[in-house]
């Protein structure tokens, strides 16, 4: 009994050894392909804008002097209507699940003169 188990075990080991080379070769090919694509992507990084994934969708920024910038990203839903004078609500999804964050958003419509008078009083 032990002898037959030993023979079967030896055959199985030889089959694994024969199959091991193609498996190792396949794994090496996959690793080389992944490494090549990563290197190509990093070399191409200059021509592609930076992209970030958020809860609201994808954000496309810009690179200026080697620094990735994402401008004008809304942090909350606009405080209009029923949201006025309430704590901020989440923004929700970007239209088309995509936001071009390449320029600053609108400036708050506060009048400087009024704000300065309130701050000084």
Residue 88 near residue 75, CB atoms below 8 Å:
yes
Residues facing residue 118 across a β-bridge: none
pLDDT over 90 percentage in the chain: 45
- Report the C-alpha gap between 102 and 54 in whole angstroms: 16
pLDDT at 109: 73
pLDDT at 100 over 80: yes
Q: What is the mean pLDDT of the chain?
A: 77
Q: What is the pLDDT of residue 117?
A: 61
DSSP secondary structure string for all residues of 5-66: HHHHHHHHHHHHHHHHHHHHHHHHHHHHHHHHHHHHHHHHTTTSPPEEEETTEEEE-EEETT
Most confidently predicted of 18-32, 43-57, 59-73: 59-73
SS3 category, 55: coil
Helix (H) or strand (E) holding 51: strand 51-54
Model-wide pTM > 0.75: no
pLDDT above 70 coverage of the chain, percent: 52
Which of 13-27, 28-42, 46-60, 94-108 shows the lowest per-residue confidence on average (mean pLDDT)?
A: 28-42
What confidence score (pLDDT) does residue 103 get? 95
Domain ranges (residues) in the chain: 1-46, 51-120
- In this predicted structure, the answer to whether residue 104 has a pLDDT above a threshold of 80 is yes
- Sheet-wide strand order for 57-60: 51-54, 57-60, 98-100
Whether residue 49 has pLDDT greater than 60: yes
- Whether 91 and 101 have beta carbons less than 8 Å apart is answered as no
Alpha-carbon distance 3 to 8, whole Å? 9
């Amino acid at each position: 009994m032990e002898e037959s188990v030993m023979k079967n075990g030896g055959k199985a080991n030889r089959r694994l050894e024969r199959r091991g080379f193609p498996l190792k070769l396949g794994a090496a090919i996959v690793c080389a392909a992944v490494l090549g694509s990563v290197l190509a992507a990093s070399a191409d990084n200059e021509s592609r804008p930076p992209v970030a994934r958020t809860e609201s969708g994808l954000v496309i920024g810009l690179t200026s002097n080697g620094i990735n910038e994402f401008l004008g990203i809304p942090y909350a839903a606009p405080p209009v209507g029923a949201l006025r004078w309430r704590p901020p609500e989440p923004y929700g999804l970007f239209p088309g699940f995509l936001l071009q964050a390449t320029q600053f958003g609108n400036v708050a419509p506060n009048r400087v003169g009024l704000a300065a008078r309130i701050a000084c009083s």
